[in-house]
Structure 1
Amino acid sequence: MEGDDSLTVVYQLNNVTVKYADRAALNNVSCTIQEGKWISVIGQTGAGKSTFAKVLKGLILTIDGEYWINQQPAHRDAKGQLKVVPEIGYVFQYPEHQLFETTVYKELAFTPRLQGYSQQEIEILIETILAQVGLSEEIVTSVPFQLSGGQKRRVAIASVLMMNPKLLILDEPTAGLDPASRDAMLRLLKKWQQQENRTVLYLSHQMNDVAEYSDEVIVFQAGRLMGHMDTNALFLDNAPLLEQLGLSLPEPVQLLKLIEELSGQKIEVPSCREQDIFEKVWQIKHARSF
């Protein structure tokens, strides 16, 4: 997809290949990630999603190709290996497994203390971040391992947000959560992303969530980048691509396609988001029957 030149290109991969033994986990991938967008990454298991995200974070030391950050080559060590990019936050699947401190306060204060923040600055930051992830301040004295599963997840994500990352990578962060908890978590993260025009890279198998929260979608298959486009363009106009890759349409879009088939007409909707589609379907339902 051609980007808008008025937006700052923050991260850029040029012809990047990553090999594990004889297998190419990424194969000649070129891609740009722009500021202020929620960009989802989709594909079957083993398509290259996590490898792509780890390259951006600098967790894969050796790559073929170029990696640029803010129009400068990504930092490498004396051996030419990529260094970890500190301004990128990375939330793994089951991030609560990364908790290690004895209280929530110590967990959240760990990174800013290393970065030289004062006690007062840390306390203000913790108060702000806890509110952003939907936790009360009283939780700071709790032992992380004694919290509920949902609370642990939020504390772990809060510890990453304490870094105030310029790019936040979310690798299936709602894995194992029930639908209500998943929706609540994603709404909080979307609000955080929009507040200061931050950038999110969201790896997911949940097409409904991808359609609901994304500005753009990157599609991988067998290590190859198959598309990078506007979310509405992908789900409303490129169903054959998804079918070719064995990926399903979001359920609201499936409903829309069914109504189009039954009515024999193309139905224009503002977006692929659930509310926009359901409102249009509701209008049609009251206008005619099939």
Structure 2
Amino acid sequence: MKISLKNVGYEYPTFENNKNGIQNISLEINSHKRIGIVGHTGSGKSTLLKLIKGLLKTQTGEINIDGKIEDIGYIFQYPEHQIFETTIFKDISYGLKKLKLNEKEILKRVEKVMELVGLNKDYLHRSTLNLSGGEKRRVALAGVLIMQPQLLLLDEATVGLDPEGKKQLFKILLAWQKEENRSFLFITHDMNDILEYAEEVIVMDKGKLLYHTSPSTLFEEYSDKLESLGLELPECISFLNKLNKNLKEPIKIQGIMKEENILKVIENRIKRTVTN
């Protein structure tokens, strides 16, 4: 599913938290991509996702979707905003009602998506009122994935998750994406998520699109700008930048910029220096 935005703008009413929305956004979102979206609070990240999903109506410009809006799934920041049925089975299967499937097919689909998000069959008839934060996130995700979207939009879905919970969430998303070469866009305040999971990154600032590039290019060329926006760099990038300021020959990272690659290059430089 490909999406094109051309000069898209949206402004909230002045009484609505003084949000400024977004202004004159133009970008292309290609199929089979993992795209992270970052920016300070109020920069327009959530507004952008809501416009793509159709939760907000475009005021200026146009959004063209190569597919159906129903093929776009949306995960809210707080799973409580998506869970409303009394049992996990009822909540996950709710969207299937309009498909007129028989009970056997519904159960099959529910069990399959529960397995994908890491919930065993014992959860089927459990109450939705007695779940941990991580379990709520999995149920909310399952309720969206069961509709078999081609594009998934996640509005700060990792908020409240501990490092292991976040790791498991992205493991689920990567497995889901790989199954049929799907795409997902995720908003995050953790730049380590961008470094680890994103193939492309969109940077928003005051309602405008600042950058749309690869994580490697972003951190190599725009680290100073990111810090000026109050965006904390990944720990390994911050370390590399500080190290390079004290080296006559700065360390360059070839290929994909990942923490393990950066540490390996630094290790090799140290070995070479010691040998010489």
Query: By the TM > 0.5 criterion, same fold?
Result: yes
Identify the range of structure 1 (127-136 vs 38-47) with the bigger mean alpha-carbon deviation.
127-136
Residue identity opposite 2:3 in structure 1: Y
Identify the range of structure 1 (213-222 vs 56-65) with the bigger mean alpha-carbon deviation.
56-65
CA shift at 1:216, angstroms? 0.4
Could you tell me which residue of structure 2 aligns to residue 14 of structure 1?
A: 6
Q: Distance in 1 between matches of 2:220 and 2:258?
A: 10
Check whether the contact 2:9–2:58 (CA below 8 A) recurs between aligned residues.
no
Q: Distance in 1 between matches of 2:7 and 2:161?
A: 36
Matches within 5 A, 1:141-290: 141-269=125-253, 270-288=255-273
Q: Distance in 1 between matches of 2:159 and 2:195?
A: 17
CA shift at 1:44, angstroms? 0.5
Check whether the contact 2:200–2:215 (CA below 8 A) recurs between aligned residues.
yes
Structure 2-normalised TM-score? 0.90
Q: Distance in 1 between matches of 2:225 and 2:241?
A: 15
Q: Does residue 38 of structure 2 align to residue 38 of structure 1?
A: no
CA shift at 1:264, angstroms? 2.8
Q: Distance in 2 between matches of 1:36 and 1:50?
A: 21
Decide whether aligned partners of structure 1 residues 117 and 267 sit closer, same or farther in structure 2, where only a CA change above 3 A counts. Answer: farther
Decide whether aligned partners of structure 1 residues 259 and 61 sit closer, same or farther in structure 2, where only a CA change above 3 A counts. Answer: same
Residue identity opposite 1:182 in structure 2: K
Q: Does residue 24 of structure 2 align to residue 28 of structure 1?
A: yes
Q: Distance in 2 between matches of 1:280 and 1:131?
A: 39
Give the SS at the match of 2:3.
Answer: strand
CA shift at 1:243, angstroms? 3.1
Residue identity opposite 2:2 in structure 1: V
Gaps in structure 2 of 5+ consecutive residues: none
Q: Distance in 1 between matches of 2:266 and 2:80?
A: 40
CA shift at 1:287, angstroms? 4.1
Decide whether aligned partners of structure 1 residues 21 and 141 sit closer, same or farther in structure 2, where only a CA change above 3 A counts. Answer: closer
Check whether the contact 2:117–2:142 (CA below 8 A) recurs between aligned residues.
yes
Residue identity opposite 2:31 in structure 1: E
Decide whether aligned partners of structure 1 residues 259 and 69 sit closer, same or farther in structure 2, where only a CA change above 3 A counts. Answer: same
Give the SS at the match of 1:141.
Answer: coil
Check whether the contact 2:88–2:127 (CA below 8 A) recurs between aligned residues.
yes
Q: Distance in 2 between matches of 1:87 and 1:278?
A: 40
Check whether the contact 1:96–1:155 (CA below 8 A) recurs between aligned residues.
no
Give the SS at the match of 1:227.
Answer: strand
CA shift at 1:200, angstroms? 0.5
Check whether the contact 2:8–2:58 (CA below 8 A) recurs between aligned residues.
no
CA RMSD, 1 decimal: 2.0
Check whether the contact 1:271–1:277 (CA below 8 A) recurs between aligned residues.
no
Residue identity opposite 2:5 in structure 1: L
Could you tell me which residue of structure 2 aligns to residue 138 of structure 1?
A: 122
Identity %: 38
Check whether the contact 2:77–2:157 (CA below 8 A) recurs between aligned residues.
yes
Could you tell me which residue of structure 1 aligns to residue 93 of structure 2?
A: 109
Check whether the contact 2:34–2:200 (CA below 8 A) recurs between aligned residues.
yes
Matches within 5 A, 1:54-65: 54-65=50-61
Structure 1-normalised TM-score? 0.86
Q: Distance in 2 between matches of 1:126 and 1:99?
A: 15
CA shift at 1:213, angstroms? 0.4
Q: How many residues align?
A: 269
CA shift at 1:271, angstroms? 2.4
Q: Distance in 1 between matches of 2:43 and 2:235?
A: 22
Check whether the contact 1:16–1:65 (CA below 8 A) recurs between aligned residues.
yes
Give the SS at the match of 1:163.
Answer: coil
